[in-house]
Amino acid sequence: MALPPGDAPDVVFDAALPWQRARSVALRPEPFGALVYHFGTRKLSFLKSKLLVGVVQTLAEHPSALAAIEAGGVPEAQRPAYVKALADLARSKMIEPREIA
Amino acid sequence: MTAVLPERPVGGRLIDQFEYGLDAPICLTWELTYACNLACVHCLSSSGRRDPRELSTAEAERVIDELQRMQVFYVNVGGGEPTVRPDFWHLLDYAIGHDVGVKFSTNGVKLDKARAAQLARTDYVDVQISLDGATAEVNDRVRGAGSFATATRALENLAEAGMKDFKVSVVVTRENAGQLDAFKALTDSYGAQLRITRLRPSGRGADVWDTLHPTQAQQRDLYQWLLANGDDVLTGDSFFHLSAFGEALPGLNLCGAGRVVCLIDPVGDVYACPFAIHENFLAGNVRDEGGFQRVWQSSELFADLRSPQTGGACTKCAHFDACRGGCMAAKFFTGLPLDGPDPECVQGYGETALAARDAELIAPRSHLDHSHTGPVRGQPTLLGMPAVPPAVSTPTPPSRICDESPLAGLDLR
């Protein structure tokens, strides 16, 4: 049995670092964006735009969260809001830091 | 009749998005059987006897396969008493093995030490033990003699096995509304979490609703209690009608029926919500071509429910945005119009509407009743007599399909 994510130490979100969708998290596309569900914490969260869904889905392909936001076509003015959204997802363990290979 | 579907807005509040429905439910209740060892006076599904048309193990597995494909991440399993199904433990493992987490409600009858240990070892399973009184005296009046002892034995077994995050699930009634602190203390003593939900006039609940639903004063106390304790207490978002007292309660303040919520009953019928077992809210059956997915995504009933709510008389009320007219099932089974106030409207409009009902009006009743036909061991005493169905005026009641079952009336204890 894996360590319950609630017991993992808190991570601080840094958009300059590489991130990925957490392994025990599933993402279900919906007309407004997506539902994200963490099988470990049994917490449900919502991604309220399709752009954000794209960003979360492609996090693992980019050297940093910021790069994923840029590549996802998020207008410059909205980027701070996306960084905040990712920070919220990191706090609820929906995304996790990625080790650089 | 299918309403012309209004176009979904882009962006905005999630609650507005939810009104238009989702590709799959967030919260799906699946009642595995109508069989139950108890005969609680307020049973929302009028359970007791097994229905001979119950989904087979193979059919239940196919439903789980479908839920996995639709990414329904967890289901609330109930009944009846789900654990009296001989394949219950198999279906539990099957669901978990297919990425469908299970939260099941039980009266605790099968949760001996061995089962408690098994559950404690299993990920993605949540258990709720039903208890409707913090003392045996209050509980057993509605759930039956000995049911408090059964439930607390199950709680002890779960705690002893090291089970984490199990729940004590309470329906708030006029008789237990004063016990909220006692429920919290009892729950804490087992290291469990308290979940309280609203009494609905559904199933046999319709027969006792007048007697058992909380008074206005109790509703106000409950609201204050939830504001003070809400963070540690689960509610299934069932008290959203209380939001009209002022401050919104945490959670989804919206009727989710057919939008984010639905019910699959033991014979595979899909209803808009667990409290709406009635033909008017029957959207289809999982055995139909296209299965559950077709019902959820294409039924006319659900399409109609996914239109933005017109609150009728309620839209003029300053609190409409807080309570959105309340609970559809509560209105329906008390004979109130669906676009008017909830019978327990905290602004008092429900009482007025109830008083204004036509004296001749017969509130709608479900077409299904699986209640035990004879006395069961540990009869609830609330009604002062065995909780048999109300007397019918015809000398021979119409035969029901369940009466033809070789298992009808079988004592499952």
DSSP-assigned letters across all residues of B81-106? -GGGSTTHHHHHHHHHHTT-EEEEEE
Does A81 contact B at CB distance below 8 Å? Answer: no
Does A29 contact B at CB distance below 8 Å? Answer: yes
CA nearest neighbour of B35 among B98, B135, B119, B107: B107
Beta strands A25-30 and A33-38 are: antiparallel
- Give the tens place of pLDDT for each residue, B98-133: 999 999 999 999 999 999 999 999 988 999 999 999
Beta strands A43-47 and B167-172 are: unpaired
| Of B14, B73, B74, Cβ closest to residue A48 | B14
CA nearest neighbour of B172 among B127, B229, B235, B129: B235
Residue in A with minimal Cα distance to B20: A31
Q: How many CB atoms lie within 10 A of CB A43?
A: 15
| Of A30, A37, A42, Cβ closest to residue B22 | A30
Q: Rounded to an integer, what distance in angstroms lies between the CA atom of residue B157 and that of residue B153? A: 6
pLDDT at B105 (0 to 100): 98
Does B69 contact A at CB distance below 8 Å? Answer: no
Does A37 contact B at CB distance below 8 Å? Answer: yes
Check: CB of residue A58 under 8 Å from CB of residue A19: no
CA nearest neighbour of A65 among A17, A12, A10, A11: A17
CB within 8 Å: A49 and B74: no
pLDDT at B402 (0 to 100): 39
- Taking the CA of residue B407 and the nearest CA in chain A, the distance in Å comes to 38
Chain A residues with CB under 8 Å of B101 CB are 39, 42
CB within 8 Å: B101 and A39: yes
Chain A residues with CB under 8 Å of B123 CB are 1, 39
- Taking the CA of residue B71 and the nearest CA in chain A, the distance in Å comes to 6
What are the residues whose beta carbons fall under 8 Å from the beta carbon of B319, sequence distance 6 or more? B243, B244, B347
Q: How many CB atoms lie within 10 A of CB B86?
A: 8
Read off the amino acid at residue A3.
L
B116, B350, B353, B356 from B325: Cα distances, Å: 41, 10, 13, 18
CB within 8 Å: A29 and B23: yes
Chain B residues with CB under 8 Å of A39 CB are 73, 99, 101, 123-124
Which secondary-structure segment (H or E) carries B63? Answer: helix B57-69
Q: Rounded to an integer, what distance in angstroms lies between the CA atom of residue B102 and that of residue A4? A: 17
Query: Is the bond preceding B246 in cis, omega lying within 30 degrees of 0?
Result: no
Q: What residues in chain B have per-residue pLDDT under 70?
A: 1-6, 309-311, 385-413
Residue in B with minimal Cα distance to A37: B73
CB within 8 Å: B26 and A44: yes
Tokens read off for B163: 């089970």
Over pLDDT 70: what percentage of chain A?
Answer: 87
pLDDT at B309 (0 to 100): 64
Does A12 contact B at CB distance below 8 Å? Answer: no
| 3-state SS, one letter per residue, for B205-246 | HHHHHHHHCCCHHHHHHHHHHHHHHHHHEECCCCCHHHHHHC
A57, B212, B341 from B336: Cα distances, Å: 47, 18, 8
Beta strands B269-271 and A33-38 are: unpaired
pLDDT at B396 (0 to 100): 41
0.90 surpassed by pTM: no
CB within 8 Å: A30 and B23: yes
Does A42 contact B at CB distance below 8 Å? Answer: yes
Q: Rounded to an integer, what distance in angstroms lies between the CA atom of residue B167 and that of residue B119? A: 13
